Structure 1
């Protein structure tokens, strides 16, 4: 778990280098708490002043090799204040895009924990920064140095890998790319050294004209041949309250390290299963082999009336899903993209979404944390939020989906074929991960909490019937007992829980998050409950909770102790029913175990 010494915050960023070191950054606004784990998160070394600056915002990591062994980690973020305070037409003023490098002068022990001085990528006292997207290191080293004139560049004595960061300007009508490369830490000598250990230049990608971007970050990717790609959302309009048309996705590329960029094109969404997607936000990109890229984003066929605040004014008829498209010729004269596929399987949010385009007036339940990464077979791995539950306004679920078919980003293993990822009624899980992980402590595996299998079937026999059917929920454990293991885990309440989502076409909150669980307190008799998720406010934040509201009779709550033991719960369909369900499936079925100091329903739901 996260070390207590690390200050909490928001906009959490995680990263893993090529040798498996885990890096963590949390935002406190005053600074970043930065940390590194060399044992896969079991323990962290941490600093609450990771950068030598204050009043910082929205951090991203990029890696070159192993920072603990000759490589570097790059931290890009906004610094609030040093930008121009009065920019004509600007929505955001005072921001400066900066980049930091770690370790400083090869001190590997502090890699990812302490960063060197900033390099102001977008320039001090300029209007060129609103908020940046991701930063990425090119896999191709070149000798491209700092600009000498408008179109000429210094030639470095040895090739280096450049790190790029994409951003928009304060008026939200331009896209820029910052390009940096490592130099020695020292006096400011172009192409040789700098106090920040970086030389950077900022390059304009596109003037957007009478439109607004900012939904919320532009995104970039670099393929294995070193070609750069950029994607962003934009909508026509002169201000956040005067958006006059659809929010669309724009795409461009560079084949010369960002020096020049192709004319942007619009990503065509008309062939999606839902028809044309009129409102599209938060695109994220990944790249693989030469010319192969994927883009994921939140999109909906719905749209607000115009003029309005665009995505921030989307009505309840806007059902948002995660969409994904691929191009295998992304830097050709006429790039083509596949028809968008619904990566999230169903809609994941209803209503408006907060964006800079609309002046940050929409629903921020989803946050802005959609991300896409390429997996080992060239498949898309997408993380996102799903707000379809009774606490829609405060507590979305963190979700993950992995591509299992279709074109991939690696030519030699395309089409993607990842077995075992299609929907079915049972799953298995490797043994050994039933550990207590909290308060900087990681226990050994506790077999009574180590789920090795899970299934859900429809039951029409006792204790249920054809007239009163049940879901039969079964969890198989490594070695089931009801006794807590207080030597490894101080909590006395053991819980075995299975939950699922039911999206609804009529529920104004988008659907239900139902669950069932079995519980034993201090080794006592097993009790089973059903219910619907709730929330608990903790230190200014919100956590999802699962308090049982319907006690199930003993006949519906069974256990089979010992090796490969099982817990079986029969929950009547009437106890977990949702009107307007989009289909007859249980979606995102997830089994888990947990321990608590008190019984699960001892804290009342917060609404």
Structure 2
């Protein structure tokens, strides 16, 4: 909390909200082998001004009761530094009523400093370029050359009943998307640009989450969906391209009021680089219908890495529709002369599978799969199904238990091919549905998939690809 003069007066108001973005600078760095006890109401910088200084990047006014009129505490306010030493801080901000409840749209802002954080430019509302998004959260930022930045966040057009309740990310049921904005002129003439231009895009093809998003951190244990675990970030690649990771909960594994997410990744393949000398980013187009395997295939655990046996090295995966009632998946493997897997690879049961996502306009969507499994090198079984999860209070790990036996074959050759014929009725029943992020995987495990609670070890995978009938 910061008063009208810019003085820090506390952490939050009586409603648990804060009104300021404060940047702490350690000119000489900071290293202490022991904890420094802080006096009540004092920050480290107030107690030891020679150690650090604080500068206010943004502050909102307080009401007559001394409470904030906004919340900027919707989790984090990430900061980035560009190649020229300029600083960029971003945050999510929403108005609040006198009781502290969110009462309006949550928007993403950015402030810029060109003097190492001593002074900050007027905050810029990044989401002004996405007017259909009414609730936006969890921003993250990466910087390249001076003035060139990428910002990612989760956004939805759903607002709720604002200013009445329900209002705010923790109260609405919504489809969320992974968004990115890019500016190449956040700095102009050596100073923060008060009117930078932004281009925006969707990072993920489909909604990554359906439901509410709790922003109370560990306080979400009292209620609220924290299934995305505040997980979203962007980094700058070698050629100035954006590399984005996020929590992807396109499945029905909703446990204890919380979704169960996988980690997803995407990379910019076109558009401007954050490095001016590169110009335009270029990369392979998104795959459709088939994709090649990874150059790496190994078991990694307990600080050791063991190269995969050739029967776990995937060369490619593909999908076709031989008729209107079936999908046919092919997984090409380096060598299928034997299905035996060494226990040094994490387990003697092996599974070769494909999984894919199907969005649902009325819910979270589905992650389906089809697989061949050989336990201890024995004759394989073939099955399909929809993901399940290993749970305690929440879903912790997605599993792939057999739901239906399917027709399947494999060739005991080098290379060998696994063919899985999947009835469309088993996996949603919609022959016109697009299949997203189809990925071929090989895994090992200590127990059979039919046990339902098997932890598997990922050994190899293909690039993801889509299929649109």
Q: TM-score, normalised by structure 2?
A: 0.81
Shift of 1:430: 4.1
Match of 2:306 among 406, 421, 443: 443
1:372 Cα deviation after fit: 0.8
Shift of residue 337, structure 1, vs aligned partner: 3.1
Q: Does 1:424 align with 2:288?
A: yes
Alignment gaps of 5+ in structure 2: 35-47, 62-68, 455-469
- Tell me the SS of whatever aligns to 2:146: coil
Question: Which of 377, 392, 396 is the aligned partner of 1:523?
Answer: 377
Secondary structure of residue in 1 paired with 2:169: helix
Q: Which residue of 2 aligns with 1:574?
A: 425
Asked if 1:389 corresponds to 2:246, the answer is no
CA contact (8 A) 1:325 1:337 kept: no
* 1:311 pairs with 2:168: yes
Q: 1:512 to 1:228 in 2, by over 3 A?
A: same
Matches within 5 A, 1:507-518: 508=363, 510-518=364-372
Q: What secondary structure sits across from 1:437 in the alignment?
A: strand
Aligned counterpart in structure 2 of residue 410 of structure 1, from 275, 289, 300: 275
C-alpha displacement at 1:529, in angstroms? 0.4
* Mapped partners of 1:183, 1:355: distance in 2: 31
Change (3 A) 1:179 1:219: same
- C-alpha change, 1:260 and 1:490, in structure 2 (3 Å) is closer
- Residue equivalent to 1:501: 357
SS of the residue corresponding to residue 601 of structure 1 reads: helix
1: CA distance between counterparts of 2:32 and 2:347?
Answer: 52
Q: Is the 8 A contact 2:121 2:194 kept in 1?
A: no
Superposed displacement of residue 436, structure 1: 2.3
* Displacement of 1:246: 0.6
1:283-362 correspondence to structure 2 within 5 Å = 283-306=139-162, 307-308=164-165, 310-316=167-173, 318-332=174-188, 333-356=193-216, 362=224
Contact in 1 for aligned 2:336/2:416 (Cα 8 Å): yes
Distance in 2 separating the partners of 1:587 and 1:488: 33
Distance in 2 between residues matched to 1:536 and 1:240, nearest whole Å: 39
Distance 1:321 1:490, change over 3 A: closer
Equivalent position of 2:264 in the other structure: 399
Equivalent-residue separation in structure 2 for 1:186 and 1:314 (angstroms) = 42
Please report how far the alpha carbon of residue 257 of structure 1 lies from its aligned counterpart in structure 2 after TM superposition. Answer: 0.4
CA drift of 1:212 comes to 0.8
Q: Contact 1:293/1:328 (CA < 8 Å) preserved in 2?
A: yes
Q: Equivalents in 1 of 2:171, 2:394: separation in Å? A: 28
> 1:309/1:481 Cα in 2 relative to 1: closer, same or farther (>3 Å)?
farther
Report the CA distance between 1:604 and its aligned residue. Answer: 6.3
Q: How far, CA to CA, are the matches of 1:276 and 1:184 in structure 2?
A: 43
**Judging changes above 3 Å, is the alpha-carbon distance between structure 1 residues 289 and 497 closer, same or farther for their aligned structure 2 residues?**
same
Q: Take 1:413 and 1:547, find their aligned partners in 2: how far apart are those partners?
A: 47
Alignment partner, residue 22 of structure 2: 176
User: CA, structure 1 residues 236+574, in 2 after alignment: closer, same or farther (shift >3 Å)?
Assistant: same
Cα distance in 2 between the residues matched to 1:398 and 1:186: 35
1:591: which partner in 2?
440
- The residue number in structure 1 matching 2:460 is none
**Deviation digits for residues 507-540 of structure 1, max 9, x if unmatched?**
x3x1111000101112211211000000113698
1:416: Cα distance to partner?
Answer: 1.6
- Compared with structure 1, are the counterparts of its residues 186 and 400 closer, same or farther at alpha carbon in structure 2 (3 Å cutoff)? closer
- Which string of whole-angstrom CA distances, capped at 9 and with x for unpartnered residues, describes residues 341-366 of structure 1? 11111211122111249x85532111
1:262 to 2:111 alignment: no
- Quote the residue 1:206 is aligned against: 58
Is 1:369 paired with 2:215?
no
Q: C-alpha separation between the residues in 2 aligned to 1:127 and 1:544?
A: 45
Match of 1:312, SS state, is: coil
- State the shift of 1:336 in Å: 2.3
2:86 equivalent among 219, 223, 227: 227
The C-alpha deviation readout for 1:175-197, integer Å capped at 9, x for no partner, is 01111244697999xxxxxxx9x
For the 8 Å contact 1:511–1:578, the answer to whether it is kept is no
Tell whether the 8 Å contact from 2:353 to 2:442 is kept in structure 1 after alignment.
yes
- What CA distance in whole angstroms lies between the structure 2 residues aligned with 1:531 and 1:356? 35
Q: Is the CA contact (8 Å cut-off) linking 1:240 and 1:356 kept in structure 2?
A: no
Counterpart in 2 of 1:601? 450
Alignment deviations for residues 471-496 of structure 1 (CA, whole Å, 9 cap, x no partner): 11111112224432336336221100
Structure 2 CA distance for aligned equivalents of residues 240 and 387 of structure 1: 32
Q: CA deviation at 1:265?
A: 2.0
Change (3 A) 1:315 1:493: same
Distance 1:540 1:472, change over 3 A: closer
- Post-superposition shift, 1:263? 1.3
Q: Structure 1 residue 240: deviation in Å?
A: 6.8
- Whether the 8 Å CA contact 2:341–2:377 is kept in 1: the answer is no
Structure 1 stretches lacking a partner, 5+ long = 1-86, 90-122, 131-168, 189-195, 461-465
Alpha-carbon distance in 2 for matches of 1:247, 1:184: 34
Shift of 1:127: 5.5
Shift of 1:390: 1.1
Cα RMSD over matched residues? Answer: 3.0
Q: Is the 8 A contact 1:482 1:524 kept in 2?
A: no
Moved more, 306-315 or 200-209: 306-315
Residues 1:561 and 1:297: Cα distance change in structure 2 (over 3 Å): same
Preserved contact between residue 186 and residue 196 of structure 2 (Cα < 8 Å): yes
Query: Which whole-Å CA distance do the structure 2 matches of 1:240 and 1:304 have between them?
Result: 18
Per the TM alignment, residue 429 of structure 1 is displaced from its structure 2 partner at its CA by: 2.2
Q: Residue deviations 1:576-600, cap 9 Å, x none?
A: 1166x9x732111111111122211
> TM-score w.r.t. structure 1 length?
0.63
